[in-house]
Structure 1
């Protein structure tokens, strides 16, 4: 690999992580008002760096060709290294849903391509399946991993599909036998980095579903891959209306008056930087003491250290949710309360439990709502996290499910 390619990849990673590929988001192409997600659509052809590929990108490229606009990374729509009329043709094809190839930046900051149209998908994680369904494309899923098969309540339409096994050790032969257009998975750091070689003839799509708070970026890119942009923008409008309200209220709290929190899980594992959960707690207005731990995204913490830090809140994240009633949450809550009984969080009844099912993927906003209400009950007296969760199910999941019958938060 040349130094130029390596440098380009590193630059893209840095820009994606910081959410600053083009700075502030331009809301003019969609009716979101001022409630825009502060991310960029990382699809080549998004020349002006907003959330949409549209006529404004064509205008921008014409400006580059004329020498009136500065060249941007994503302006090279066909990824041939040259900004030209061919890029305008590619943008028009993307808009018309006639493009035969789409180029994008994946979760690892690498340039990737997918052949269009995509008619069939194998998904490797519950959250990937959930995102595909939110985009109205569940009918394209023809294969799943073992975990999805264990969620008949949440994935009644998918749980009986052929499985390729463990998502971390996928059976390539089983995937190849299904002959999907796309295998949808995540980062090479967690999932087999050799999949692209093992799955010859299948496009491996690697996008975020929780990492470092980049869920929305992953949803948007996938919507262009699947030709489901309208569904993505419908979801984004719903998402941003709620998120903007939470951020506006939290934004008025001085930094030195914010509550502190420890995110805990089984095995004394905290949620660290890049976990998505840490970032969610900060969006909800807390100072997360997990930032002091530097041993990966799920660092092991010492109980005595946590007691000495005496966080205002402790939230334990466990496996529960759609596959469980409230009992596992009660059992975990009792255990954590006993462990931290001498802390302010226990004395003030500020120890809670969240089901992992609502802490990442397209439903991650539900966990932020719960946390905001726990952190600042007076400020968010009118916020109803369970109602937000039910609305998400009813509007975007296409299933009949009453969230009050399952254990998500306590």
Structure 2
């Protein structure tokens, strides 16, 4: 080889090496959201805007400091509970300095999104901005992603976690949680598929006794899907066409469900409803559940008479922590098939291996110990 050829080869190698070192330390991120839109980021998101406080819990399952990747959230503390929020403040005080943006339950504001200066805006499927609003945001240089833990959680939760993992660089942790959740769900499905017993009738009353009106109930989809997955027959599915609705007391009494489940939480303070979840001791939870099931018409149901009445924290419904709801419902609805399921052990596992802020206190309870 001539000196010229050798020099040219060395030069080419040198340029190649220089090019490698000059290249960005990241690769472009491309991921599809639950609405089928392709979301592209030049690098991992460091300033995410979310429109629902429960997405903080989702990030907490895959990121050791979920607040560090946020620029704005709606400060809808009631959705995660005041005691849980207090625990986030204690561990991540920067949460109090985050900018506030529109809630998925409120009026949307493009201006608030732009003012927060996020490098990614994440919105809820059920209340996503219009195409015009999304276009305005994206023309300002802010990518938009749609996720869903609420409308169709059994279909969309995995993809939502996968997107959050991809945009924050926490893919491995996201996949670990997805596997845990999917393995538990598949086990429940397999046992039910091999069983021919009639499905118990289930009445789940969200925000039970918040008003004198009886009785709120899931209809088709959403919480009703959880009841079906856990082996039950939702008594509201036949008469409520939407996701939620109201049953009259006469229908409830006539249906005479085998299992009754009330939901509640700190948002029920000042009502006759169930107080349950972080911040409440067992005496409070049990006494308020007893009050809920003592109402006229409810007290005479077979489920209550036979001791198959239960209380569940509403913050675990429509939640990234829905595996706890699924396991709890299965153990209540079909104890003959799922007596070995221990949601308390699953909560302990999530606290030890996933959640940046552990879930504490009583989040589900049986009327009869």
User: TM-score scaled to structure 1, two decimals?
Assistant: 0.67
Which residue in 1 is equivalent to 2:88?
Answer: 155
Map 1:2-401 → 2, pairs under 5 A: 98-104=26-32, 106-107=33-34, 109-117=35-43, 118-136=45-63, 138=66, 139-148=68-77, 150=82, 151-156=84-89, 157=92, 159-167=95-103, 168-187=106-125, 189-193=126-130, 195-197=133-135, 199=137, 200-212=140-152, 213=154, 214-254=156-196, 256-266=197-207, 268-275=215-222, 277-320=223-266, 321-322=277-278, 324-326=280-282, 327=284, 330-338=287-295, 339-399=297-357, 401=358
Q: Secondary structure at the match of 2:335?
A: coil
Distance between the aligned counterparts of 1:306 and 1:408, measured in 2? 23
Which structure has more relative contact order (CA 8 Å, sep 6+)? It is 2
Distance between the aligned counterparts of 2:101 and 2:37, measured in 1? 28
Kindly report the root-mean-square deviation, in angstroms, between the aligned alpha carbons of the 2 structures: 2.7
Distance between the aligned counterparts of 1:113 and 1:409, measured in 2? 41
Distance between the aligned counterparts of 2:96 and 2:181, measured in 1? 30
Distance between the aligned counterparts of 1:381 and 1:103, measured in 2? 39
Q: Given the superposition, is the C-alpha separation of residues 393 and 357 from structure 1 closer, same or farther in structure 2, using an over 3 Å criterion? A: farther
Q: Secondary structure at the match of 1:389?
A: helix
Which moved further from structure 2: 321-330 or 332-341?
321-330
CA positional deviation for 1:286: 0.9
CA positional deviation for 1:120: 1.4
Q: Given the superposition, is the C-alpha separation of residues 337 and 244 from structure 1 closer, same or farther in structure 2, using an over 3 Å criterion? A: farther
Query: Is the Cα contact below 8 Å between 1:148 and 1:155 reproduced in 2?
Result: no
User: TM-score scaled to structure 2, two decimals?
Assistant: 0.74
Query: Is the Cα contact below 8 Å between 1:215 and 1:361 reproduced in 2?
Result: no
Spell out, residue by residue over 1:117-175, the C-alpha distance to the aligned partner (whole angstroms, 9 max, x if none). Answer: 22211222132111122221612112221224844245332642324255123554443
Which residue in 2 is equivalent to 1:11?
Answer: none
Distance between the aligned counterparts of 1:304 and 1:163, measured in 2? 48
Q: Given the superposition, is the C-alpha separation of residues 376 and 337 from structure 1 closer, same or farther in structure 2, using an over 3 Å criterion? A: farther
Query: Is the Cα contact below 8 Å between 1:358 and 1:408 reproduced in 2?
Result: no
Spell out, residue by residue over 1:335-377, the C-alpha distance to the aligned partner (whole angstroms, 9 max, x if none). Answer: 2343412221111111211112222332101011111111222
Query: Is the Cα contact below 8 Å between 2:347 and 2:359 reproduced in 1?
Result: no
Corresponding pairs, count: 308
Query: Is the Cα contact below 8 Å between 1:223 and 1:232 reproduced in 2?
Result: yes
Distance between the aligned counterparts of 2:99 and 2:286, measured in 1? 29
For structure 1, which runs of at least 5 residues remain unmatched after alignment?
Answer: 1-95
Distance between the aligned counterparts of 2:185 and 2:36, measured in 1? 29
CA positional deviation for 1:380: 2.5
Query: Is the Cα contact below 8 Å between 1:373 and 1:381 reproduced in 2?
Result: yes
Q: Secondary structure at the match of 1:211?
A: coil
Spell out, residue by residue over 1:234-270, the C-alpha distance to the aligned partner (whole angstroms, 9 max, x if none). Answer: 112222333233333333321x522111221235221
Q: Given the superposition, is the C-alpha separation of residues 198 and 330 from structure 1 closer, same or farther in structure 2, using an over 3 Å criterion? A: farther
Q: Secondary structure at the match of 1:362?
A: coil
For structure 2, which runs of at least 5 residues remain unmatched after alignment?
Answer: 1-23, 208-212, 267-276
